[in-house]
Structures are given as C-alpha cells and as structure tokens.
Amino acid sequence: MRVVALVPGGIGDQILFFPTLDDLKRHYPNAQIDIIVEPRSKAAYQVSKSVNEVRTFDFKDRNSLADWANLVGIIREREYDVAIAVGPSWLMSFLLWLTGIPTRIGYKGKGSAFLTNPVPLKTQQYAAAMYHDLLQGLGIHEDCPELAINVPKPDIAWTDKEQQRLIIRETGYILIHGGSSESDQSKGLDKIYPVENWQQIIQDFQHKQPDMPIVVIQELDEQEFVHGLQQTAPDIKITSPEDIGKLAAMIAGANLMLCTDSVPMHLSVAVQTYTIALFGSTEPAKLLPHSDKFLGIKSPTGKMSDISPKAVLEKIWGG
C-alpha cells in the first residue's frame, strides 16, 4: 500500500502527527508512507520512525494554478492508494479529488464531498489525538499512542560530547528554552516569557539546588535573551544544537525541561523528559498529553508575561 499525507504547518505540527504515522505503519508494516510538507518543516522527519520520503510544497505561498497543477501531477505519478489531508481545507480536499487516489481521507466540513472517507473533526482534544482520528478513515479506532521519535545515534554521541564540554556530571541538568525567537515576535505570537521572570526562576533554583547545572538552549536569534539571563546568572551553561536530532538528544538527557509552547516542548514530550511548559491564551490540554510528567501553566490573563515566577516555582518544587 502506498500512502501520501499532506501536512501543512510548522515542525511542531509534524511532530504531533508522528503518532498517526507510527500507528499507520504498525497496522500496515509494508506500507510506503510519503509526506508532503512546507519547506520549513522538512527537518522534523529527521527524527521520524515511519516515513519513507518527504517532499516539500509551500502550501501558504501565493501559488499559481500551474504550481497546484504541478503538485497534482507529482502525486498522480506515484499512484498512491491512500491520501490523507491534515486540516479541514476545501482546497486540499479538491486537490486530492483531482489526483484520482481511490481512498481520500480528511475531516468533515468544507470540501468533504471530495473525500471518500471523511472523519469528524474534534478540536477540543490533544492535537496528536485529533490527528490520529484521521485513521478512522481506514477503520482504525484505537486510542492515540504516545508521541515518540527516533533520535539518530550520531546525535546521541554529539550530546555526550556536549555534556562533557559543559562539564555536566552525574547530577544531570535542568534545561531551559525561553521562547524568545524573533520569528515569533514578528508574527505577533505571544510565546515569549520575560527575561526578568526567568532570572527569578533561575536564582531560586540555584539557591535551592546549587549543584544542579542549568543549561539554556540558544537558537540563532536568541543571543539577547541569553545575555540577559547571564546578567544575573553568569554561571549558566549555553548549548546550541544545530539540528532537531541533536536538540532532541540534549532534551532527552535533561532531568527537567522548562519551556514555552514550542518545538522543544513537543520533543521533550516525545523523549519522556519531565516538562513544565508555559502558555498564554492556548489551552495546555490541546498541546500536552494528560500525564503527571508534562505540566502546563496557563496565564490567568492570556498573556505570557502575566505568569508569575512564583507559579512556575510552585510547579517545580511541588508546592
């Protein structure tokens, strides 16, 4: 069986789709599963266990009719048996109808007349479970499996060397991802927790656990954020994993992950690291599975900046 899935969205959306892919592969072990994603999201499949080939198409670009026709042609050439569209999109459903694929699965709603096997869209649940519902179109009605990834061995080896460089010993470490990327700010997304709040959390942690190293993930556009933390905590350690595999391996080695709603949060869930994640207006239950290992703190006002350091520390210390 040949399957193609059209999955718009960022890297986080792709990771949340992994349980669907893994369960599909479990039920059809000989299936070839191909994915079509936006160019920005292709890197996610470096840690996927179930995908054969990843193709890119910028679904959000101002594509011409020729661009869409070219995509239809590419899909038709591969002679897929099953197509899965993620997202209730009239255009996506129509696109799959044009390909002539015999089994076309997507959500009920606009454009579902072009699908052969539409399934109900239940948005008030964990996003990975919402995606997993698409497998009902193939008669699979089991619960969504846990989010899991495949961390490449070279990335695990890199992390071992990185921990040596940071002089991290048997104590382990606390990992922080501050969610301060300029890309989120430019999009007007409220995923940024103020530096001064992080400073208070770090100071309290260092006071109570002075022998536990604190490691901060620094991405390309986060130098200012990290510099701000170093003003009051000059001994924090900095790591800059260069790809998603190394990032996942670094998260897997941590005792605790403190983060905002982000790709590292989903990776932390996938590698089963204890996680405390901060949310603005988003309901944590939509992006975190129900588990004592993964705790979400939602702002009382919907603004990230209004989450008090005290509330975070209470979660850390079990208060």
pLDDT digits (tens, 9 = 90+) for 115-126: 999 999 999 999
Nearest to 176 by CA among 212, 202, 209: 202
Q: Give the pLDDT of residue 221.
A: 76
Show the domains of the chain with their CATH numbers. 2-138 (3.40.50.2000), 153-317 (3.40.50.2000)
Q: Give the pLDDT of residue 180.
A: 54
**What's the gap between Cα 115 and its chain centre?**
27
Low-confidence spans in the chain with pLDDT less than 50: none
Per-residue exposure over 282-304, b if at least 16 CB sit within 10 Å of its own CB, e if not: bebebbbbeeeebebbbbeeeeb
Q: Give the pLDDT of residue 206.
A: 93
167 Rama class: left (phi>0) / alpha (psi -120 to 50) / beta: left
Q: Give the pLDDT of residue 188.
A: 56
Q: Give the pLDDT of residue 178.
A: 87
pTM: 0.93
Q: Give the pLDDT of residue 61.
A: 81
Q: Give the pLDDT of residue 170.
A: 83
Q: Give the pLDDT of residue 87.
A: 80
